[in-house]
Structure 1
Amino acid sequence: MYLYLWIVFAGIILISALPLISRKNRTKWRITQSIVVTVAVLLSIIAVEALHIPPLWTVIFVVMVTFLSDKSTYTKTGLIITGSVIILIAAGAYYLFHDDPEYVQNYIDKNPDLASMYMRVDGETVIRQESDVKRPLASVVKTIIAIDYANQVAEGTIDPEDHIPLEELDKFYLANTDGGAHTNWLEDMRANDKIVNNQVPLYEVAKGMIRYSSNANTDYLLEKLGADSVNGVMETLKLEHHDPVYPLVSALLASTYLNEQHNGNLSDREIEEMLEKMTMDEYRELVWEIHEQLTHGEADFFNETVSVPMNLQKIWSDRLPNASVEDYAKVMSKISNNTATVPGGEEILRDIMEWPMELHPTNREKYAHLGAKGGSTGFVLNQALYAEDHDGKKIELIIFTEGFSFMERLKMNQNMNMFMSQVLDEHF
């Protein structure tokens, strides 16, 4: 997923090492500089791959190390240039990362073709912006799977205490495609001794799907629950603008799979054209075909890692299940009012959805209930939540946004949660 970043890093190492070809340039300073830059790049790769540090920070780190290890930096001209660069980086970092919740509202107001918002207070709609427009859901769609999971547990169809081998989840895991969600969940399971004989309880798989947003857990549950049962939730809840749910990981593999079927001879542009020509029914059929191979361990066209160019990621993101904010206001309202599931499923579902109550002690002070599910890709940033204070006042707040430039996405990511907290505080 970071192929271009690795190419840039390799170029930086090469540039720092090239002068050493000449014997006269093999000074102690030059050799030290090359070693320091190489170490900085290796540390950055580890930070991205193992610690899931955002790539932007590692790029800044490598650039700064390169500057500071260059002897010319310490001339008068060099110090002026370095100082100017540091000031520009600091100003850019402040712009991108300082708290600015109004940025989110401004984006929604200025981009009605790219953003929707819906808010209801005690059953009364107070904000409705582009509320019936269908937009890509990203991981927000996992709420539907959670509802069906709660239904099937309540009906006795599945046992939440069943122990699921991690190898069954690994079938649907693609490294470096979920922002560290699955590995973070596994680390939490290990830290809390939830993994026994390399197995985890089914209810922890469901909670990991929502709290950590593990795509592997999601596609495993979709297979276990059954697509027909999951998609029946939309009919039961009368969601008028909701697309069928289908596997997320297998969809991300669609371009790799098509290329493999053509012996690896397709260009990115040719794959893009093939995907764009498919109807949604054809596309979903392809995704389910891939999912079937993953389920049965027959997917030998990848080795747990893929590199998908941004143009193909865009197709994947756009073709994820779509729905409207109005649909998800209805979903969140029904969860809040204990009508989203069959009788007996209410607390099962709340236990999955109300992870923010466990995560932040301040939430327990402010709210009697707070449940949420976010979703994001490189092109989408969504949030859906319900909240109830200790006096019984209830709010549902849904925001779906898309179509960002790189800078806009950074700003939206930085400020979305703060903006939503601000909106809640204004009405509670």
Structure 2
Amino acid sequence: MVKYLSVIGAVIVLIIILVIGFVVWLNSSNPDYVWKKLNDEQMKSSFVFNKNGDTVISINPDERLALASTVKIMVALEYSFQIENGNVKPDEQVKLSDLEAYYVENLDGGAHEAWINSIKENNMISNEAVPIREVAKGMMAFSSNANTEYLMDKLGIEQIENRMKELDIYEHDPLYFFTASLFIPYELKNEHYPNESMKEVKDDIVSLMREMDKQEWIQLSTDIHEKLKNEPTYKTDAKIKDWWNTDFDQLFSDKFIRSSASEYANLIHKINHKMLPEEAQFEMEYVMGSLMENEANQQWLNRAGKKGGSTAYILTDAIFAEDKEGDYYEAVIFFNDLKGLEAYKLMKSLNEFELKLLKDEQFQDKLTNQQ
């Protein structure tokens, strides 16, 4: 009996050690894990790394993958050009209530609230309004979806897309109001199943959404955007927190706007090499430049900008940098269809991967030789 209990005790201790070891591994940063996943043929991934104008690493560069919030670079681009041409003034005041119309609580990872806290701490609010430049920076540095929706409305989706074409960005899905699109299930339920609860008809709603083509999705998102903008009770009536679940999260990740790493690498190359008009260049670097607020980065970088995006199933990032040695770098990384804890582990590891990619020549050489 004692021997039997000893064996059970040893097994329990071993299980505890294994669990602790797994938790430690999961929460630690491992740049090699990112590289391993980029080279995994079972993964949907894409990677482009440029150094001083040359592409030195390229993995599935032209595969169109879902972008998550990295697509906000395109909105920031049009904002910067409209500053350049005088349509928008950087100190133009935006009412916080106008942004609040597009804020969906608990569905942006706390991004909008974090931005609001930041502008309060930095005394940027005056008469319940904030400069539009800070709205754009909040979209990029904090990834506020409410700010994005507001800017897409103000700047115009057609104008954003025309600017993309002007800068030779063609391999890209059409844009739509993606905060508004979160309410598509509610609209479909009201249209097709007005007397049932969302829980009762969720599977049918998901099927209807999967069958929608791009134009239907875009048009319905546009219609919902107008309701969010003009009908103050719309969000409350929709009660999105009561019915949103992981099935919808997966669906929206699958349906999200797509493009390729090569397209985004070409764009951030233009930004990195100061190929935009002067004022547009300044604004673009300002709204993307939160990396340069870190004193440690200031020690080795002259300039840098970054925008990433993530869901439970998507992880994307685009970064440019010019270091103190005068070297220029651009890196774009896309992961789609992540499963289990892959997204969490990749998120824990991506920052160190990018840091080594930009700073460590031996790491650069190792990856270049292994691709």
Calculate the TM-score normalised by the size of structure 1: 0.78
Query: Contact conserved, 1:382 with 1:401, CA < 8 A, in 2?
Result: yes
Q: C-alpha displacement at 1:89, in angstroms?
A: 3.7
Q: 1:110 aligns with which of 36, 40, 45?
A: 40
Over the matched positions of the two proteins, sequence identity in percent amounts to: 29
Q: C-alpha displacement at 1:297, in angstroms?
A: 2.4
Matched, 1:354 2:289: yes
Q: 1:142 aligns with which of 60, 72, 83?
A: 72
Indicate the structure whose relative CO is greater, using CA pairs within 8 Å and at least 6 residues apart: 2
Matched, 1:319 2:255: yes
What SS does structure 2 have at the residue aligned with 1:345?
Answer: helix
Q: C-alpha displacement at 1:243, in angstroms?
A: 1.2
What SS does structure 1 have at the residue aligned with 2:299?
Answer: helix
Q: C-alpha displacement at 1:78, in angstroms?
A: 11
Q: 1:241 aligns with which of 141, 153, 171?
A: 171
Q: C-alpha displacement at 1:343, in angstroms?
A: 4.3
Structure-2 separation of matches of 1:307 and 1:387: 42
Matched, 1:160 2:90: yes
Query: Contact conserved, 2:43 with 2:336, CA < 8 A, in 1?
Result: no
Query: Contact conserved, 1:148 with 1:230, CA < 8 A, in 2?
Result: yes
**CA separation of 1:303/1:277 partners in 2, compared to 1, >3 Å: closer, same or farther?**
closer
Deviates more, 1:201-210 or 1:241-250: 241-250
What SS does structure 2 have at the residue aligned with 1:405?
Answer: coil
Offset from partner CA, 1:274-322 (integer Å, 9 cap, x none):
0111111111111111111111125253257454222222221122210
Q: 2:313 aligns with which of 379, 387, 397?
A: 379
Offset from partner CA, 1:125-180 (integer Å, 9 cap, x none):
11111100000010001001101001111111012212211111111111111111
Q: C-alpha displacement at 1:238, in angstroms?
A: 0.7
Q: C-alpha displacement at 1:418, in angstroms?
A: 0.9
**CA separation of 1:413/1:275 partners in 2, compared to 1, >3 Å: closer, same or farther?**
same
**CA separation of 1:164/1:305 partners in 2, compared to 1, >3 Å: closer, same or farther?**
farther
**CA separation of 1:307/1:426 partners in 2, compared to 1, >3 Å: closer, same or farther?**
farther
What SS does structure 2 have at the residue aligned with 1:105?
Answer: helix
Q: C-alpha displacement at 1:383, in angstroms?
A: 0.8
Matched, 1:170 2:104: no
Query: Contact conserved, 1:149 with 1:225, CA < 8 A, in 2?
Result: yes
Query: Contact conserved, 1:174 with 1:306, CA < 8 A, in 2?
Result: no
Matched, 1:408 2:347: no
What SS does structure 2 have at the residue aligned with 1:406?
Answer: coil
Structure-1 separation of matches of 2:7 and 2:243: 41
Matched, 1:370 2:304: yes
Q: C-alpha displacement at 1:120, in angstroms?
A: 1.0
What is the aligned residue count?
Answer: 352
Query: Contact conserved, 1:209 with 1:217, CA < 8 A, in 2?
Result: yes
Query: Contact conserved, 1:173 with 1:304, CA < 8 A, in 2?
Result: no
Q: C-alpha displacement at 1:257, in angstroms?
A: 2.5
Matched, 1:344 2:286: no
Structure-2 separation of matches of 1:332 and 1:129: 17
Match of 2:23 in 1: 93
Match of 2:268 in 1: 332
Match of 2:367 in 1: none
Q: 1:258 aligns with which of 176, 188, 191?
A: 188
Structure-1 separation of matches of 2:63 and 2:156: 28
Q: C-alpha displacement at 1:241, in angstroms?
A: 1.0
Matched, 1:397 2:331: yes
Structure-1 separation of matches of 2:309 and 2:87: 28
Query: Contact conserved, 1:369 with 1:387, CA < 8 A, in 2?
Result: yes
Matched, 1:291 2:225: yes
Matched, 1:218 2:148: yes
Give 1:403's aligned amino acid.
D
Match of 1:127 in 2: 57
Alignment root-mean-square deviation, CA: 2.2
Structure-2 separation of matches of 1:205 and 1:304: 25
Q: C-alpha displacement at 1:234, in angstroms?
A: 1.5
**CA separation of 1:180/1:134 partners in 2, compared to 1, >3 Å: closer, same or farther?**
same
Offset from partner CA, 1:87-109 (integer Å, 9 cap, x none):
44422211211221111110110
**CA separation of 1:145/1:306 partners in 2, compared to 1, >3 Å: closer, same or farther?**
farther
Query: Contact conserved, 2:38 with 2:46, CA < 8 A, in 1?
Result: yes
What SS does structure 1 have at the residue aligned with 2:335?
Answer: strand
**CA separation of 1:226/1:191 partners in 2, compared to 1, >3 Å: closer, same or farther?**
same
Q: 1:424 aligns with which of 334, 358, 363?
A: 358
Structure-2 separation of matches of 1:281 and 1:101: 40
Offset from partner CA, 1:340-398 (integer Å, 9 cap, x none):
4x44211111111111001x211111111110000111110011011111232111100
Structure-1 separation of matches of 2:86 and 2:7: 74
Structure-1 separation of matches of 2:314 and 2:106: 18
Deviates more, 1:396-405 or 1:304-313: 304-313
Runs (4+) off by over 6 Å: 76-82
Deviates more, 1:109-118 or 1:98-107: 109-118
What SS does structure 2 have at the residue aligned with 1:372?
Answer: strand
Give 2:238's aligned amino acid.
F
Calculate the TM-score normalised by the size of structure 2: 0.89
Match of 2:3 in 1: none
What SS does structure 1 have at the residue aligned with 2:279?
Answer: coil
